Amino acid sequence: MFFLIFGPTSRFMKQEKKRDKKDLIMLSALRVMSKKGYYGSTMDDIVLESKMSKGAIYHYYKSKKEVYLGVIESLENEYTELFAKVNSEPNTAKTLKKLFTTVSAQLKKDPIFFKSFSTFWSISRHDKDFRKAIQHMYDRFQKFIELIIIQGIENKEIKKDIDPKIASLSLVLNLEGVFWFTLFESKHVSAETYIDQISDYILNIYTLNEGK
């Protein structure tokens, strides 16, 4: 009986410990990249930032490239879980609006994620593995929005002549606008104001009055 209880619990604790270590490596890598960029950083920089041993990091990742590909995968999973929570809203318009406000809140809470994407985009121009990883993230996010729009059309909350694929791509591209605010400063418009107004413009075009 003791084995049955202790065995699985022990494995769970080991899995949690492993995940905590990998999360620390991911966060450290992002911090290093924000200071030195991708090409200017090294595994030694990540080791120093994480305060872990070099052997511990190499146990999980064999190269700097593996670390940063892992960062993209980790961010994709984290934000997929975060965005999935918006489906609790009562209708499509509020769901899509919540999607925008979630991005706005995360930008304010954790700007390092958004700042990292300009670097990942740059790398993906010259590296097929990074391009594939970024493409997978965008495809997954676009499909998530597309399914929300399809449901909205079925519920007669979204105009039936709206193409779900084009509409979802439009939303993704407009959400991308927040990355501009991580690179440049605007004295006239804040990221929050941009996201709030652009989402209202889009929803006014896509939704029927009944879905608001």
pLDDT in tens, 50-95: 999 999 999 999 999 999 999 999 888 888 888 777 777 788 888 8
Q: Where in the chain is the domain with CATH 1.10.10.60?
A: 1-62
pLDDT in tens, 157-189: 999 999 999 999 988 888 877 777 776 776 777
Is domain 63-211 annotated with CATH 1.10.357.10? yes
Which pLDDT value is given to residue 162? 92
Name the CATH topology of 1-62.
Answer: Arc Repressor Mutant, subunit A (1.10.10)
Tell me which residue of 25, 87, 34, 86 sits closest to 52, measured CA to CA.
25
With a cut of 90, say whether residue 131 has pLDDT above it. yes
Confidence grade of residue 25 (pLDDT, cut at 50, 70, 90): very high
Alpha helices in 43-190 (DSSP H): 43-50, 54-60, 64-84, 92-109, 111-124, 128-154, 164-175, 178-183
With a cut of 70, say whether residue 31 has pLDDT above it. yes
With a cut of 60, say whether residue 116 has pLDDT above it. yes
